[in-house]
């Protein structure tokens, strides 16, 4: 089918003999998935905390101005971290293709934990003045730089360990970690909001979630240091006689330009809808719809719990029916249901908000379950980490991380509270076109790698 050949899922020729399959150890695959998912969980623990406590952070670091101005400033610092993500991808991605995935993922874990921990130590604006928001920005930039190598590396790591017929299932646990981290961060903020007074939360309580990142980072580093390199990378290194030559940046970009464009479009719809639902909606419910803060947080926590329950089953579904049908269903759903869902949310009752948010959450699962397996399969082993890091982080920086700031600004400029729905619909159109043009990779070997099968039990 012509539409499915824009990016060929394999680099093998018709005359080349099939290489011997790699037999995966189920216990080792599970360890790899746990270590990769924990790093993602820590990253999104920070995002969850930052998003859910954004109103408080605005009072601490940006005390002058209206509540809307404070929220814009806080989300501005949030978005600034995404501006350096491509730089992190340009450094860590090619490095991961040269020295190995495991080593680079250990470094990103250290940097991410340090950046988050540092936020909890920053004095308030009332104490040191303009230095406070500058230090917050610096810590966010460290986080953004390290995150530039995190998701692409973690998804590559799992994809290269998983057997071909279960890559969707194992890849879905990466986003399970995302949701677990988000629930942990958001749940902690919700608990603190319920237990602490507004003054206590503003004076010292907001620091606690960020300080927790220190111990989490140590645990994650320990798990990652115990892992071996992926079979696909080890085989590639062996072909090069254990010395990985530097892959030119030009090869990672111009040599993979079709795959990069598809990657950026798929990441766009994935991250716009993800950040809209998980990062922006809590503040939207509170600041724009004047919804009770605690009830709003509990609704979103419930939606994320529902997503966690569905996530592994949806990942397994992508192995059976393919990645393309599942991603296409998510795009179609956001195009058709974003407006009805947001109208339900704006109705304001607890049931209506829960139904609207729940519908968007289930649609988002179509992306969270399929993308961790679909994106690494766009690129060959030799440049997989680097090319995926570049495409993923450019798209996230331009469209994903800026979503809360852009939508807040659009609502402020137009006064139209339906802007979140229109924004998601536009992303769905772009994602739908990319899905139409991508090749199906479910059940097939990764490009440039030998077939991977599960060891018999």
Tens digit of pLDDT for each residue in 299-308? 888 898 999 9
What is the number of structural domains in the chain? 1
Domain assignment present for 8: no
Question: Shortest CA distance to 428 belongs to which of 304, 276, 272?
Answer: 272
Question: Shortest CA distance to 54 belongs to which of 82, 74, 73, 72?
Answer: 74
- Helices (H), ranges, 276-322: 281-283, 293-321
Domain assignment present for 263: yes
Domain assignment present for 1: no
Distance in Å from the first CA to the final CA of the chain: 37
- Percent residues over pLDDT 90 in the chain: 31
pLDDT at 47 over 80: no
pLDDT value at position 10? 41
pLDDT value at position 245? 54
255: domain CATH number is 1.20.1250.20
Report the range out of 106-115, 277-286, 435-444 with the highest average pLDDT: 435-444
pLDDT at 395 over 80: yes
**Domain region containing 34:** 22-443
Domain assignment present for 191: yes
Question: Shortest CA distance to 61 belongs to which of 2, 133, 9?
Answer: 133
Question: Residue 68 — pLDDT band, cuts 50, 70, 90?
Answer: low
pLDDT at 241 over 60: no
Domain assignment present for 195: yes
pLDDT value at position 372? 94
Q: What is the pTM of this model?
A: 0.84
- The secondary structure of 9-32 as a DSSP string is S----SSSPPPPPEEE-HHHHHHH
Question: Residue 85 — pLDDT band, cuts 50, 70, 90?
Answer: confident
Higher pLDDT, 13 or 114: 114
pLDDT value at position 374? 95
pLDDT value at position 2? 35
Domain assignment present for 56: yes
Question: Shortest CA distance to 60 belongs to which of 186, 195, 200, 188?
Answer: 200
Domain assignment present for 455: no
Domain assignment present for 6: no
pLDDT value at position 415? 86
Q: Are 425 and 334 in contact (CB under 8 A)?
A: yes
**For the ranges 11-20, 174-183, 214-223, which has the lowest average pLDDT?**
11-20
């Amino acid at each position: 089918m012509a539409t499915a050949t824009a990016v060929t899922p394999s680099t093998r020729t018709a005359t080349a003999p099939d290489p011997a399959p790699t037999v995966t150890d189920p216990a080792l695959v599970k360890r790899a998935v746990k270590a990769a998912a924990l790093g993602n969980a820590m990253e999104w623990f920070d995002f969850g905390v930052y998003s859910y406590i954004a109103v408080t952070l605005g009072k601490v670091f940006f005390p002058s101005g209206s509540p809307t101005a404070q929220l814009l400033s806080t989300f501005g610092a949030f978005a600034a971290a995404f501006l350096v993500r491509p730089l992190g991808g340009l450094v860590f991605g090619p490095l991961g293709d040269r020295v190995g995935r495991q080593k680079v993922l250990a470094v990103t874990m250290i940097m991410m934990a340090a950046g988050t921990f540092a936020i909890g130590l920053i004095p308030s604006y009332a104490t040191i003045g303009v230095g406070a928001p500058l230090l917050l920005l610096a810590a966010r930039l460290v986080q953004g730089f390290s995150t530039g190598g995190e998701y692409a590396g973690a998804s590559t790591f799992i994809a290269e360990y998983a057997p071909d017929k279960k890559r969707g299932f194992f890849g879905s646990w990466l986003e399970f970690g995302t949701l677990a981290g988000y629930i942990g961060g958001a749940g902690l903020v919700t608990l603190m909001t319920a237990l602490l007074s507004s003054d206590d939360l503003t004076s010292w309580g907001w620091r606690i979630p960020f300080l927790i990142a220190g111990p989490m980072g140590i645990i994650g580093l320990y798990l990652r240091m115990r892992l071996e390199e992926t079979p696909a990378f080890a085989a590639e290194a062996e072909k090069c006689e254990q010395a990985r030559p530097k892959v030119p940046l030009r090869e990672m970009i111009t040599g993979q330009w079709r795959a990069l464009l598809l990657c950026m479009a798929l990441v766009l719809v994935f991250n716009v809808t993800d950040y809209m639902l998980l990062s922006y909606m809590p503040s939207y419910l509170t600041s724009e719809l004047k919804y009770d803060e605690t009830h709003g947080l509990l609704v979103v926590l419930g939606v994320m719990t529902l997503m966690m329950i569905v996530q592994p089953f949806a990942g397994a579904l992508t192995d059976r029916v393919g990645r393309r049908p599942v991603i296409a269903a998510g795009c179609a759903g956001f195009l058709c249901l974003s407006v009805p869902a947001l109208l339900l949310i704006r109705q304001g009752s607890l049931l209506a908000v829960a139904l609207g948010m729940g519908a968007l959450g289930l649609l988002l699962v179509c992306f969270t379950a399929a993308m961790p397996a679909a994106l690494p399969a766009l690129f060959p082993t030799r440049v997989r980490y680097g090319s995926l890091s570049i495409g993923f982080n450019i798209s996230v920086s331009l469209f994903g991380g800026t979503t809360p700031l852009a939508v807040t600004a659009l609502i402020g400029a137009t006064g139209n509270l339906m802007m979140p729905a229109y924004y998601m619909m536009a992303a769905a159109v772009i994602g739908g076109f990319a899905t139409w043009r991508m090749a199906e990779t479910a059940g097939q070997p990764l490009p440039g790698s030998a077939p991977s099968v599960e060891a018999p039990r």
